[in-house]
Chain A
Amino acid sequence: MSGGRDGAPEPSAAAGPGARTDRLDPAERDRLVTDHLGLARQLARRFAHRGEPLDDLVQVASLGLVTSAQRFDPDRGVEFSAFATRTIIGELKRHFRDKGWAVRASRRVQELYLELGHATASLGQRLGRMPTVAELAEETGAGEEAVLEALEAGQGYRASSIDTSDGEDEVLVARLGAPDGAYEVVEDRELLGPALATLPAREQAILHMRFVEGRTQSEIAAVVGVSQMHVSRLLTASLQTLRANMPQRTSASG
């Protein structure tokens, strides 16, 4: 093995490309590394919630620390810990980037959002009431913060229709229209319960299939044995009835 580090990205052009920039003797470098392993571990922990095993991150951070010691130039007047922190965070971020983390993360959020819809429905049936966020977190194996995040992001996709409506009714319909807006569904079902009970069983079933199970009108038509057009009409009529029978949404006192 040769000692060259060709191809290793340099943080600045101060040193020639590919040149080793270590200005410290090996003993000094080793001391810096051992003294700052705790720093590397702390920084790795800051990134642990992004879903990579902590051990891997500690390894990436430790390598970043070694790189920092090799590149550190004490004459620059920057303290080592500041330089190392920046380098290590750079390495951690690159690690996530190389693994296509951003793409996977947004996919994961979307998947979790869908999963939450199903979890809400199944927990709701099992518990006989709507689940809490803590219960959803346990059911899906995601943390509470991740659950809240996913609910928020999921709603974001629909936010324009919610935000542009002016009346309460419009807001409700927009929320019903979000197939699995678990959090809103929790709230809305409480309000909807009594109104829903006034509908014929078939209409209730259709609403459930459409908005809880997220089935298409054609799928529902096949189940119920009517045309898709008829399902559409029944849905419209049911929503109108619900609107008429809905109690006023009680907003937080203020």
Chain B
Amino acid sequence: MNDPGAPLAAGDRIELRFPARGDLVVLARLVTSAVATRAGFDVEELEDLRLAVGELCLLALQGSDARHGDLRLELTLLGDGVAITCSLERASTTGDTEPSADEMEAAHLSEQILTALVDEHGRQSEDGAVRAWLRKRRRELAG
């Protein structure tokens, strides 16, 4: 296989901030695959991470009127994998918007997908800012 180039090491941190729009989640996926490649994940894990990060962004966007906010993606390299958080940072809080039943269901699905794809994940809401995170370990190389 080709050398994926300069590797990233534990402690390295990559941040991406972009307008909180669904059609821009592609940016999060692209950065994630670039980072995961350099962090030594294999192709399948990389696809899992891309999928997972998409769900993470959906979770962070969930239940909010996010049109004015930003999504902040933060990837931190760990010794054995990667930790990724996605938070919605709103320019102004316009009161709590109750998530609809559809949104609740979508969020539920996202969480279940994350359970299937990554080692750990969670979601917190602090001061109107939603923060979803995940952690995925690299598969031990066989042989």
List the B side residues contacting A148 at CB < 8 Å: 30
Query: Interface size (B, Cβ < 8 Å)?
Result: 27
Q: Who on chain A is nearest to B47 by CB?
A: A50
Query: Interface size (A, Cβ < 8 Å)?
Result: 33
Say yes or no: A86 contacts B26, CB within 8 Å: no
- Whether A46 is near chain B, meaning CB under 8 Å from some CB there, is yes
Say yes or no: B43 contacts A106, CB within 8 Å: yes
Q: Who on chain A is nearest to B31 by CB?
A: A152
Q: A82-B112, A145-B30, A148-B30 are in contact. Are A93 and B44 (CB under 8 A)?
A: yes
Chain B 6-63 interface residues, beta-carbon cutoff 8 Å to A: 6, 26, 29-30, 33-34, 37-38, 42-44, 47-48, 51, 54
Segment among A158-166, A198-206, A243-251 that sits at the interface with chain B: A158-166
Instruction: Give Cα distance in the complex from A43 to B117, angstroms.
Output: 12
Say yes or no: A97 contacts B112, CB within 8 Å: no
Say yes or no: A86 contacts B44, CB within 8 Å: no
User: Which of B1, B30, B54, B112: most chain A CB closer than 10 A?
Assistant: B112
Instruction: Give Cα distance in the complex from A47 to B47, angstroms.
Output: 9
Minimum distance in angstroms from B134 CB to a CB of chain A: 15
Say yes or no: A153 contacts B26, CB within 8 Å: no
30 A–B contacts from the bound complex (CB under 8 Å): A39-B109, A46-B51, A46-B113, A47-B51, A81-B108, A81-B112, A85-B109, A85-B112, A85-B115, A86-B112, A86-B116, A89-B116, A93-B44, A102-B44, A105-B47, A144-B26, A145-B29, A152-B30, A152-B33, A155-B5, A156-B2, A156-B5, A156-B34, A157-B2, A157-B4, A157-B5, A159-B6, A160-B5, A160-B6, A164-B6
Residues of A within 8 A of B (CB): 39, 42-43, 46-47, 50, 81-82, 85-86, 89-90, 93, 96-97, 101-102, 105-106, 144-145, 148-149, 152-153, 155-160, 163-164
**Known contacts A96-B44, A105-B43, then 11 further A-B pairs from the complex at CB < 8 Å, ordered by chain A residue:** A46-B54, A81-B109, A89-B113, A89-B117, A101-B44, A156-B2, A156-B37, A157-B2, A160-B3, A160-B5, A163-B5
